[in-house]
């Protein structure tokens, strides 16, 4: 008999991409892990309301599972962001240290501009023995293209994706080098972007998709007569710079 005390089992943190919005677009593997885990975590919503990821997986979460709404700050202050990630990582570790697996769900794919990246990195900095696994999901550009009924790219087309914090200069560079451009979370800069696309005569080859795959999804095709749009946060714009290539 081994006299040494058995090492306590440590749970695994799984990052599961919940997809763009339709609960049926969660992967089979993601769903299995989600329903097997003792704890399901997700970014907390704003103003006490359920967050997007929480709403996506709500049909699949079971009553006996612990649900953790983790607070993340939606600001650009590095100190505030870091403090939020550290607090969330400590909270998750309490469950992992007890041997419980935690599934953290995030909309889209957990490696694509996702909060999960910061949570996982911070956890592993605090607890080097922590186990983390990433389960990919369907990201919004792929979902938006599917809802439009168009391929995102074909043949040798070059794709460029710009995150929310881009500038007009970034878009100009993308137009010069890419065949297809995806602008994420375009709502706050739409009018500036519209002017650039007008100057390059690309409005007729541009599409806005709001809330892709959800029941209240809206698609705008050919933006020439839409210099202003009141768009929700989860909106993206796809530009076919060279549609015939």
Given this model, what pLDDT does residue 165 score?
A: 67
Residue 104 φ then ψ, to 5°: -100, 120
**Cβ within 8 Å of residue 26, ≥6 positions away:** 16, 18, 19, 34, 56, 57, 60, 137
Given this model, what pLDDT does residue 1 score?
A: 45
Of the pLDDT bands very low, low, confident and very high (cuts 50, 70, 90), residue 75 is confident
Give me the sign of the Cα torsion angle 138, 12, 53, 79: negative
Given this model, what pLDDT does residue 4 score?
A: 53
Given this model, what pLDDT does residue 29 score?
A: 98
Of the pLDDT bands very low, low, confident and very high (cuts 50, 70, 90), residue 3 is very low
165-197 pLDDT per residue, tens: 677 889 999 999 999 999 999 998 999 999 999
Given this model, what pLDDT does residue 36 score?
A: 97
109-140 pLDDT per residue, tens: 999 999 999 999 999 999 999 999 999 999 99
Give the end of a domain, one of 114, 135, 156: 135
The bridge status of strand 235-240 relative to strand 206-210 is antiparallel
Q: How buried is residue 35: exposed, middle or buried, by Cβ count under 10 Å (0-12/13-18/19+)?
A: middle
Of the pLDDT bands very low, low, confident and very high (cuts 50, 70, 90), residue 77 is confident
21 and 123 belong to one structural domain: yes
Domain holding 24, by residue range, is 12-135
93 and 145 belong to one structural domain: no
DSSP string, 98-165: TT--EEEEESB-TTSS-HHHHHHHHHHHH-TT-EEEEE----HHHHHHHHHTS-S--TT--EEEE-SS
- 148 within a domain of the structure (yes/no): yes
181 and 227 belong to one structural domain: yes
Residue 40 β-bridge partners: 67, 103
- Res. 5: pLDDT tops 70: no
Give the end of a domain, one of 135, 155, 186: 135
Q: What percent of the chain has pLDDT over 90?
A: 84
Give the end of a domain, one of 135, 164, 179: 135
- Res. 62: pLDDT tops 90: yes
CA angle 230, 231, 236 (to 5 degrees): 145
- Mean pLDDT calculated for residue range 199-225: 96
Q: Which two tokens stand for residue 69?
A: 């709404």
26-38 pLDDT per residue, tens: 999 999 999 999 9
20 and 49 belong to one structural domain: yes
213-244 pLDDT per residue, tens: 999 999 999 999 999 999 998 899 999 999 86
**Cβ within 8 Å of residue 128, ≥6 positions away:** none
Given this model, what pLDDT does residue 245 score?
A: 62
Count of domains observed in the chain: 2
- 1 within a domain of the structure (yes/no): no
């Amino acid at each position: 008999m081994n006299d040494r005390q058995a090492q306590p089992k440590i749970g695994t943190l799984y990052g599961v991409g919940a997809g763009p919005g339709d609960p049926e677009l969660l992967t089979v593997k993601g769903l299995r892990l989600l329903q097997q885990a003792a704890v399901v975590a997700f970014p907390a919503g704003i103003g006490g309301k359920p967050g997007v990821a929480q709403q996506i997986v709500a049909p699949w979460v079971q009553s006996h599972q612990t649900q953790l709404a983790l607070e993340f700050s939606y600001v650009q202050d590095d100190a505030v962001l870091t403090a939020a990630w550290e607090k969330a990582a400590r909270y998750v570790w309490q469950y992992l240290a007890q041997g419980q697996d935690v599934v953290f769900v995030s909309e889209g794919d957990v490696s694509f501009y996702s909060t999960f990246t910061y949570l996982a990195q911070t956890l592993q900095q605090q607890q080097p023995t922590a186990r983390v696994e990433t389960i990919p999901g369907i990201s919004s550009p792929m979902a938006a293209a599917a809802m439009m009924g168009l391929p995102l790219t074909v043949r040798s087309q070059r794709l460029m994706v710009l995150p929310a914090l881009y500038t007009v200069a970034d878009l100009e560079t993308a137009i010069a080098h890419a065949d297809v451009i995806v602008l994420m979370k375009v709502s706050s800069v739409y009018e500036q972007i519209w002017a650039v696309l007008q100057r390059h005569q690309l409005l007729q080859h541009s599409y806005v998709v709001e809330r892709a795959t959800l029941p209240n999804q809206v698609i705008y095709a050919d933006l020439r007569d839409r210099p202003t749009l009141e768009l929700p946060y989860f909106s993206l714009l796809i530009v076919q710079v060279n549609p015939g290539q």
